[in-house]
Amino acid sequence: MKPGIHPAYGPVVFRDRAANYAFLTRSTMTSDKTIEWEDGTTYPVVDVEISHVSHPFYTGTARVLDTAGRVERFERRYGRRGAR
């Protein structure tokens, strides 16, 4: 890598406010806010609105769309085009 052109890559705590959950990882993101982690070290903290703990896809509360019903409704409304 070229020196001096890449952002600093270090430990950062991401905190999901919706689920009251935080995890420590490495990132190039920075923040003025800090938090004392479980190991007693202070890390920058980035607040996020949604994470794998609160996202509907990962929690199993995602809605399944009825795509077959949509196709049938479209064909009823606009008719099925025959082969030319």
- The pLDDT assigned to 50 comes to 80
- In the predicted model, what is the mean pLDDT of residues 50-62? 68
* Among the listed residues 59, 11, 6, the one whose alpha carbon sits nearest the alpha carbon of residue 35: 11
Going from the C-alpha of 40 to that of each of 6, 33, 47, 67, the distances in angstroms are 28, 16, 20, 51
Q: Helices marked H in 32-66 — which ranges?
A: 56-59
Q: pTM value?
A: 0.63
Q: What is the pLDDT of residues 12-45, one digit of tens each?
A: 999 988 888 899 999 999 899 999 999 999 999 9
Going from the C-alpha of 20 to that of each of 6, 46, 48, the distances in angstroms are 32, 13, 11
